[in-house]
Structure 1
């Protein structure tokens, strides 16, 4: 039996509450068994490994519910790419994730989702599948091929649901499209979270989608109408609805830090940090593909070769959290919650993931107290060297 006890840590448990100082956490066989003070730890069972945090922050592993790839590969490349992508992101603190798929030929997309579903059922670090499309607005398609976009009609919707076989946790759609509102209702009836995104919907249409059960705003501000004083749009609708979580790509490129700060100020318990990472993440600048579309990455910024639209990102979750704390000036407890419990809540899995509590997975990140980047990653009873230390 392998076990770890971390002593003298500043424990952020993922709740967003004030951290516990001089705290200790014990993990055994991949599960957190004890959380308490370092003095209490003297009465816990002995562990095979003991670490002194010397007052550094300790938090749950990060959960990314929206990313497409990394390390030069994409989930679109098939099951053989999955372990490679997850390893690239794990080195940056992402211990659990949702696979996102860009819009493609519908038959191809359906086959990819069916193949991925088999992996999800056997890999506890994969929390599910997220098709980002094909039910998107052509005017806000971003890096999705125009010719493959469809209305969310029942015959298409049910093919994706059936292909995922119970592993689809969210799907991004434009609710104003023909059949969109009905699709939101159908998805909720199947236990899938509808996400409003790549949309031209109005404030009123977004409200209707949220009333029908949509619970996520996909990468807030990107690929949607912005805030106008006579047309509030979907961001204001999401901010006003306490049931809705707002994704944000916090790379300082997709959304200005002051705008990110506004999201946290308005909805501190509902912001979800995501990467929307594409295959170039953790790889050098150069030419890549995002689904059917050619992308060039320059200075870490991914853009379509045709049209110049942002094409996902090369962000990792450790930088998303560090940016929130050091550049957006969000309270560390809130920033960490936005990468742990909030994403778990958004997809309805916070009873299993997202917190540093007894009974939860033993995914631990020890952070540098100045940069808030990981100095130790621990999962599956294994210590992993963080990318920042390599």
Structure 2
């Protein structure tokens, strides 16, 4: 099993990186980033570098410098899933995404019986303590069985404040977000518990009406709020039954919600991704993967919690009855794959796609004082790519990560749309 990508020490705690910087919603050609003791010390055009010009690296046309990517919804990769793998497997999953440029990763769990869910929360704590994960996301168990998708309907329960407190306490401050349905029981109490713990609620896997969803959004009271994989796990938007999609889009347009988009070409059509960017802007969109164990792996069978998932042509589904394709069961892309597809296939401007994979998800989780942008004072997490957005190097707190075993990103880009 692959070991953790070891940071490769730079010659000193102070070094320069040069290339075309895409950050803060813009592109700055021939930029220089000063890294000092794991932090960003200076950013600007090479022509404005205040130090000795002889210290500058050679120009690097075509090299892109991006903030390290931030994935708010990831169940695993490299053959291992956070809901079921052992400690070594979970490390391998996190490290796989790191090698592909995701320097801030949230480990997502799925609905499970209470005791099992608590054990999985505790199993993830060492990865959070080590920095491999930036936190934990609970996708359930307070969801709609009518829109359970690939979640086990037997593990979905009505809103239970006691259970939520138990899980939050087990997380010891590591739980960053919780997906719940707006129609679940005792929603107001659940939202109060999350607010007191500083946890971001995210509405998803829901069969709620637009009116009910609007009321749930209002109950959050203007605090951080997400929509879990918008469109997926929800009824479709209809002219006479707009449902949660319409309510979430309106809230995002008003600046009161960030919507996740799994822009991998499987969960959403590229035109859908383009439309949402045009409607609400990159500041209210978190591109994400919903990746599961099969990310970076060949076709085959993989676990997703208690469920068995079949991956064919890079598309993960639950096994269905004859003539039934089965529900989509997570993603197999990495976040850089999603960014690349947004630019190439959906026509999203590169600065907008990067914002939606860095600054916006960092803000959604309350991590934007540390990560998500290349500005002085932030952590020196950088993703260096070529002009085709293929990864070339990853810096984590200023140190280069071993990316030699990274699978070429273009080899696993699904094209099927459902």
- State the TM bucket, normalised to the shorter chain: over 0.9
- Are residues 1:68 and 2:79 paired? no
State yes or no: 1:379 paired with 2:387: no
Superposed CA offset, 1:39-89 (max 9, x none): 233606987x94642243211010111000000011121433332112211
User: Which secondary structure does the structure 2 equivalent of 1:296 belong to?
Assistant: strand
* Aligned mate of 2:377, from 347, 354, 359: 359
CA drift at 1:388: 2.6
C-alpha distance in 2, partners of 1:244/1:165? Answer: 26
In the alignment, does 2:307 pair up with 1:293?
yes
Counterpart selection for 2:107 from 85, 93, 99? 99
Bigger shift: 173-182 or 292-301?
A: 173-182
Residue 203 of structure 2 corresponds to which residue in structure 1?
Answer: 196
Alignment partner, residue 247 of structure 2: 237
* 1:115-134 correspondence to structure 2 within 5 Å: 115-120=123-128, 122-134=129-141
Counterpart CA distance in 1 for 2:162 and 2:365 is 24
Contact 1:21 1:55 in 2 (8 A): no
**2:16 is the alignment partner of 1:5:** yes
Contact 1:344 1:350 in 2 (8 A): yes
Q: CA RMSD in A?
A: 2.0
1:258-277 Cα distance to aligned partner (Å, 9 max, x none) = 11111101111211111000
What is the correspondence of 1:221-300 to structure 2 with a 5 Å cutoff? 221-241=231-251, 242-268=255-281, 269-300=283-314
Q: Is contact 1:295-1:311 (8 Å) kept? A: yes
Q: 1:335 and 1:144, CA in 2 relative to 1: closer, same or farther beyond 3 A?
A: same
- Tell whether 2:337 aligns with 1:323: no
Task: Flag structure 2 segments of 5+ consecutive residues without an equivalent.
Answer: 1-11, 412-418
Give the Cα separation in 2 of the matches to 1:316 and 1:88: 9
**Contact 1:6–1:52 under 8 Å retained in 2:** no
- What is the alpha-carbon distance in structure 2 between the residues aligned to residue 306 and residue 280 of structure 1? 18
* 2:87 corresponds to: 79
Structure 1: distance between partners of 2:284 and 2:216: 17
Alpha-carbon offset, residue 27 of structure 1? 1.4
Out of 143, 147, 169, the position equivalent to 1:140 is 147
Q: Could you tell me the TM-score, scaled by structure 1's length?
A: 0.93
Q: Does the alignment pair 1:170 with 2:180?
A: no
Distance 2:130 2:212 in 1: 37
Gaps of 5+ in 1: none
Task: Please tell me whether the aligned partners of residues 61 and 364 of structure 1 are also in contact (alpha carbons under 8 angstroms).
Answer: yes
What does the per-residue CA deviation read over 1:306-343, in whole Å, with 9 as the maximum and x for residues that have no partner?
A: 46111101011111000010100001100000000010
Cα separation, partners in 2 of 1:4 and 1:135, compared to 1, 3 Å? same
3-state SS of the aligned residue for 1:311?
Answer: coil
Q: TM-score, normalised by structure 2?
A: 0.87
Distance 1:238 1:124 in 2: 32
